[in-house]
Chains A and B, each alone.
Chain A
Amino acid sequence: MPPTAPLKSVPLREEQIILFRIGEQLFALSSSSVQEVRSADSLSGGATEIDAPGVDKVRQFVRRGNNTLFLVSAATHFGISAPEGILAFVLRNTRTALLVDSIEKMTAMTCLQALPLSFCHEERQWYRGLTALDQTVVPVVRPEGFLSNEDLMMLDAALPPPELFAGETEAEPDADTDLGTELN
C-alpha cells in the first residue's frame, strides 16, 4: 500500500501558550493573545447585564473607555456542561473577555497542525488548529472565533444607551502588558 502521506504538523517557532480548562476539557490559547487574566468576580463586579437574542453565551458586558468588552461563557460557546467560569481572559484585539474554569499551566508548543478538513462546521472558526503536548492532543483556540461579526452586531444592538452606564466604565489596562511574562 503506497501512500502519499499528507503533511505533518507545521513546525512553528516555539509559541508560548496557556493551557486552560473548561470543565474537564483542556484547551490552549496563545499567551500573546491574552491581555489580562482577571477573576470573573472582579470583572463582573462592574459589568452590566445584556440579553442579545441568539447570543446566549454573553450575559454581561463591561465598558472600558470607548470599548465594550463582552463576557463570553466558554462553556456555552463550546457546548460544554460546566459551571460558569471563574477566570476571565481579556483577549487582545477583540471585544471578548472569555470566562474559563482554570489555568492548567503555561507551556510552549512547537507544532501546530491545521484542523483536519473532516471537521467542517463551526469548529473551523473556533480553532487555529491542534497541537500535541505530552502525547495529548489539545485544540488551540482562535481568539477572534468566540464572537462572530453577526454576534457583535446583535450584541451592539442590545446595548443600552451609553448615558445609562456612563459611571461604570473600567480604566483601560496598559496595552503593552506582556501576559506571558507576568504569568511566568
Chain B
Amino acid sequence: MNVSSELELKSFVLLRLGERRFAVAAAGTAELVAPSRVFRFPHKTAKIEGVILRRGRIVPVCDVAEKLVGSRLTTRRFYLIALRRYGQRTEWVAIPVTGECELISAELNAASPSDEPHVAGWLSHGGDVIEVLNLDALTPGPHNLLPNPAPSQLPAKNSRQNKAEARP
C-alpha cells in the first residue's frame, strides 16, 4: 500500500456493541435489518446462534460481542448483514448490534503487528479511535482455507468472480 492510498478516505459502517463502537468496511456490508426469528438447530460451532431467513437466503447469525466487549448482547436492535470471505468464496453473516449504524468516510490507519487478528485497522471519528474489524478473523469458518485480505482491501479489484458469488 503506498502513501497516496493510505491517505485515501474510505467508507465504513460504524456499529455499536453495548457501550463500544466498532467499524467495518462498507464494501463488505449489505444492509441493516430488524431482528427477525432466529432458527436454531443442533450444531457444534459455539459462536453461531442459528440462522435467519433474509430475501430467500439463509444467513448465519454470529454474535461477536462476547469476543469484542466481553459479554453477549442482551438487547439487539438490528442485524448488520455483512460479507464474510472464505478463501475465494463469500457468504453473508448477520452480526447482532445494539444500536443504529452510521455510514462514514474516514482514513484507515493500518493495524500493527501487535493488534489482534480481528483488527483490520483503526480510524478516528468524533474524537474517538475506533477499531476496524476484520470479520473474516472474527467469525468462525473452516481452517483449511487461504487467509483472507483485511476488509480495508475489499472488494478485490478485477478479480475473476468465483462461481460461488452470484451476480446482482
A-to-B contact residues, CB < 8 Å: 1-9, 25, 27, 78-80, 113, 116-123, 126, 130, 132, 135-139
**Whole-angstrom distance between the alpha carbons of A139 and B168 in the complex?**
27
Chain A residues lying within 8 Å of B127, measured Cβ to Cβ, are: none
Q: Looking at the complex, which one of B31, B58, B143 makes contact with A113 (CB distance below 8 Å)?
A: B58
Cβ–Cβ contact B91 & A6, under 8 A? yes
Chain A residues lying within 8 Å of B57, measured Cβ to Cβ, are: 5-6, 8-9, 113
- What would 10 more interface pairs be, CB under 8 Å, given A3-B83, A6-B91, A118-B91? A1-B31, A3-B168, A6-B83, A8-B166, A116-B59, A118-B141, A121-B45, A123-B42, A135-B53, A137-B51
**A interface secondary structure, majority:** loop
Report if B120 contacts A (CB, 8 A): no
- A77 CB to nearest B CB, Å: 9
Report if B97 contacts A (CB, 8 A): no
- A85 CB to nearest B CB, Å: 15
Enumerate the 7 nearest inter-chain pairs by beta-carbon distance, A residue then B residue, closest first: A121-B44, A123-B43, A137-B39, A78-B42, A118-B60, A3-B30, A116-B60
Contact A5:B58 (CB < 8 A) given known A117-B91, A121-B45, A137-B39: no
Cβ–Cβ contact B83 & A9, under 8 A? no
**Whole-angstrom distance between the alpha carbons of A138 and B161 in the complex?**
30
Cβ–Cβ contact B27 & A2, under 8 A? yes
**Whole-angstrom distance between the alpha carbons of A1 and B30 in the complex?**
6
**Whole-angstrom distance between the alpha carbons of A5 and B93 in the complex?**
11
Chain A residues lying within 8 Å of B35, measured Cβ to Cβ, are: none
Q: Looking at the complex, which one of B42, B86, B92 makes contact with A5 (CB distance below 8 Å)?
A: B92
- The B37-51 residues at the A interface (CB cut-off 8 A) are 39, 41-45, 47-48, 51
